[in-house]
Homo-oligomer: A and B are copies of this chain.
Amino acid sequence: MDLFTSFERLSLNQITTEKLTLPEAVDACARAEVPWIALWRHKVEQSGLAASKRIIKDAGLQVSSLCRGGMFPAATTAGRQARLDDNRRAVDEAAELGAEVLVLVCGPAPDRDIAGARKMVEEGIEQLVPYAEASGIRLGIEPLHPMYAAERSVINTLAQANDIAERFRQEQVGVVVDVFHVWWDPDLYTQISRAAGRILGFHVSDWIVPTPDLLMGRGMMGDGVIGIRRIRHAVEAAGYAGLIEVEIFNKAIWELSGDDALSLVKARYIEHV
């Protein structure tokens, strides 16, 4: 099927409504009949883990993913151990919330050695896998746009994410395809095909022109230059039939009420995804 006519695969990533608390975002989803939500740990912490779980369940929502684990590289062994401990807590939270996947934003280098940091990411994931496996939580490696290489993640292409994921069982470690991060990549469609069976998430937004800011430059689907539908078709051709998260860092969208934001998300989802 080409055009969506229903919202059964739509998930609101909580950062799109950054000013809402978790209960407010859950309410807005329930009113808008958006069946899935993707959670951020700082929002869950604010409302409490047990309370968040209950609120989501009472509203009849399901959790597509928890954002985020990762941030593996650190300058010292103790630092890397602390990151691993935090990742285990993230796995616990994902399991408690019934999230389908824990999204990994892998972290920047602690120094000028980006190659060394990439090795630390591989080691960190390797150490985390048995714990995640025991908890029934899948790990989704999300490559971040190269402009975030210095501050957020040294995993910047789908090829890198695939390279790491392929070292593990495909039921356990996969990749998350976010159009904002990967749309520019000349190797995109090859790497999406390669990821068949391992795609654990698909995130949509748009790249707006002129781009106002590195972090806050994302736009609502249809407001930018990304061929979103072409990418959606490619992930579906690779067998992905899972959830589609709308994840937008954008101050103007953050100023909307939850109801207005979700009504815009739904309209653009039908038109542009």
A-to-B contact residues, CB < 8 Å: 109, 111-114, 118, 145-147, 149-151, 154, 156-157, 159-160, 183-186, 207, 209-211, 213-214, 217, 224-227
Contacts and interface: CB of A to CB of B under 8 A. Distances in A.
A155 to B, nearest CB: 9
Nearest to A109: B225
Contacts of A157: 186
Contacts of A146: 145-147, 184-185
Q: How many copies does the complex hold?
A: 2
A217 B157 CA distance: 22
Given A156-B186, A184-B156, A186-B159, A227 B147 contact: no
Given A184-B114, A214-B214, A151 B209 contact: yes
The 10 closest A-B pairs by CB, nearest first: A149-B184, A147-B147, A146-B184, A112-B227, A146-B146, A150-B225, A150-B209, A112-B225, A150-B207, A160-B186
9 contacts: A112-B226, A113-B227, A146-B147, A146-B185, A150-B184, A151-B210, A151-B211, A159-B186, A214-B217
Nearest to A159: B186
A151 B84 CA distance: 39
